[in-house]
């Protein structure tokens, strides 16, 4: 196992509490816990509010992997019960609720996606409905007795809603209690989360002390912005990059980032060390490195991280061929056309869109082309002769093979 100083240097990189005093306190506590020379129990929770994990989730997942590589025990917690409410920490309005059955369905793909980053053999998978669903009403009252309403109302998201006269639902307060109790149930040494979750993680420390456990050490990290460069990466915002996306799609989405968002991705996701990142920034500022070339360095690095080096090479070649040189890809999938299909049917059946409403929206937005020609009519029939290339947006291509005519010979 690496020395305590080496571990501390690796594990504290990127940590941000927004408060220097909290940073120094938690760094000191982590040093003390590491000095015990035993594997620490470390966890992070992920609510299944959608079926896909994103690069936003991977910020904490990559830190979990660092703990694993240093010999510590990692718990990947799926919030099948906290996900019924959804974390209100960064929300200015209440999330819509879902059922446990819906949460379990969404979580089915989480483990496979997580193993893009985590070591399958060294990861403990848990679901928090295992202990939260069994709490009695008396248990919940007891947990709630450790916190005041004022503690919740001073939180930024709740204070804004309170000042605006917007509703704050009572069940939203319970989210922090449930996440805090996760730390008790798992008896953890360290919990990871986003900076907006610090209150929830500190609540876990308080409950652990009440239950006679040593308080965990929270490590929080800045938010990854989405592909719009402004909002937090989110499936609901449509500005996300999925962990399971094809290398070509991941590369292309990274290249679409606004220039000002690059530093956020370099800092939170890339394998570049801080000195290298600073050097890249200086070169851009001096004009010796074009932002596009820096972005290509970032895209190549991230595709390598989440796939492998050969996938990154293929993705970059694809990007140059399709977007820089204006060529269509040579290795696109082939779809055989059925009779009497519309363009909307074709887009959906070929897997180029997730729904027919998305297909209609893309046509209205001018995002669909057949052999380079724009499709403008939503009800347009799919061409039913020969072969042609169907393009959806900038990155999705399918070679369509029309069925031969069935008339008399």
Local confidence band at 95 (pLDDT 50, 70, 90 cut-offs): low
pLDDT in tens, 201-252: 999 999 999 999 999 999 999 999 998 898 889 877 778 898 888 898 899 8
The CATH number that applies at residue 159 is: 3.40.50.620
Q: Are residues 39 and 100 in the same domain?
A: yes
Q: Where are the alpha helices (DSSP H) in 220-355?
A: 247-255, 262-269, 274-286, 291-306, 309-319, 343-349
CA distance 406 to 197: 62
The CATH number that applies at residue 382 is: 3.10.290.10
Residue 329 lies in a domain: no
CA distance 289 to 282: 9
The answer to whether residue 187 scores a pLDDT higher than 90 is yes
Q: Are residues 36 and 183 in the same domain?
A: yes
Q: Are residues 338 and 320 in the same domain?
A: no
Residue 234 lies in a domain: no
Q: Which helix (H) or strand (E) holds 194?
A: strand 190-194
pLDDT in tens, 309-351: 999 999 999 888 776 666 676 667 889 888 889 999 999 999 9
The answer to whether residue 385 scores a pLDDT higher than 80 is no
The answer to whether residue 45 scores a pLDDT higher than 90 is yes
What number of helices (H) and strands (E) belong to the chain?
18, 10
Residue 381 lies in a domain: yes
Q: How many CA atoms lie within 13 A of 77 on its CB side?
A: 29
Q: Are residues 87 and 21 in the same domain?
A: yes
Domain limits at 353? 334-401
Closest CA to 172 of 45, 82, 47: 82
Q: Are residues 198 and 295 in the same domain?
A: no
- pTM, to two decimals: 0.74
Number of domains in the chain: 3
CA distance 376 to 366: 7
Q: Are residues 140 and 178 in the same domain?
A: yes
Q: Are residues 294 and 146 in the same domain?
A: no
Q: Are residues 29 and 173 in the same domain?
A: yes
Residue 43 is given by DSSP the state: E
pLDDT in tens, 243-301: 888 898 899 899 989 999 999 999 999 999 989 999 999 999 999 999 999 999 999 99
């Amino acid at each position: 196992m690496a020395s305590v100083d080496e571990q501390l240097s690796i594990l504290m990189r990127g940590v941000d509490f927004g408060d220097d005093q909290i940073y120094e306190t938690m760094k000191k506590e982590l040093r003390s816990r590491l000095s015990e020379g035993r594997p620490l129990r470390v966890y992070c929770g992920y609510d299944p509010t959608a079926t896909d994990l994103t690069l936003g989730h991977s910020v904490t997942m990559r830190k979990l992997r660092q703990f694993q590589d240093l010999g510590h025990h990692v718990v990947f917690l799926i919030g099948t019960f906290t996900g019924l409410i959804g974390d209100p920490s960064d929300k200015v309005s209440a999330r819509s609720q879902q059922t446990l059955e819906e949460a379990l369905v969404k979580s089915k793909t989480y483990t496979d996606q997580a193993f893009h980053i985590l070591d399958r053999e060294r990861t403990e998978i848990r679901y928090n409905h295992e202990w939260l669903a069994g709490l009695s009403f008396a248990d919940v009252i007891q947990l709630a007795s450790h916190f005041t309403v004022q503690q919740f109302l001073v939180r930024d998201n709740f204070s804004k809603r309170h000042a605006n006269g917007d509703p704050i639902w009572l069940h939203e307060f319970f989210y922090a209690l449930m996440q805090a109790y996760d730390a008790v149930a798992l008896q953890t040494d360290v919990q990871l989360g986003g900076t907006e979750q610090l209150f929830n993680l500190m609540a876990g420390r308080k409950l652990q002390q009440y239950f006679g456990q040593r308080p965990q050490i929270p490590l929080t990290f800045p938010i990854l912005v989405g592909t719009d460069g402004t909002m937090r990466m989110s499936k609901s915002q449509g500005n996300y990059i999925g962990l399971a996306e094809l290398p070509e799609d991941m590369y292309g989405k990274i290249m679409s980032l606004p220039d000002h968002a690059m530093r956020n991705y370099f800092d939170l996701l890339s394998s570049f060390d801080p000195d290298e990142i600073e050097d890249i920034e200086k070169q851009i500022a001096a004009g010796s490195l074009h932002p596009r070339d820096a972005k290509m360095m970032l895209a190549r690095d991230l595709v390598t991280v989440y796939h492998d080096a050969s996938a990154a090479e293929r993705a970059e070649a694809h990007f140059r061929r399709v977007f820089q040189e204006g060529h269509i890809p040579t290795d696109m999938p082939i779809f055989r056309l059925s009779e009497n299909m519309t363009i909307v049917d074709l887009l959906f059946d070929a897997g180029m869109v997730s729904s027919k409403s998305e297909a209609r929206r893309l046509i209205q937005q001018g995002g669909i082309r057949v052999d380079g020609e724009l499709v403008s009519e939503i009800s347009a029939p799919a061409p039913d002769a020969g072969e042609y290339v169907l393009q959806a947006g900038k990155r999705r291509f399918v070679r369509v093979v029309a069925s031969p005519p069935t008339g008399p010979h």
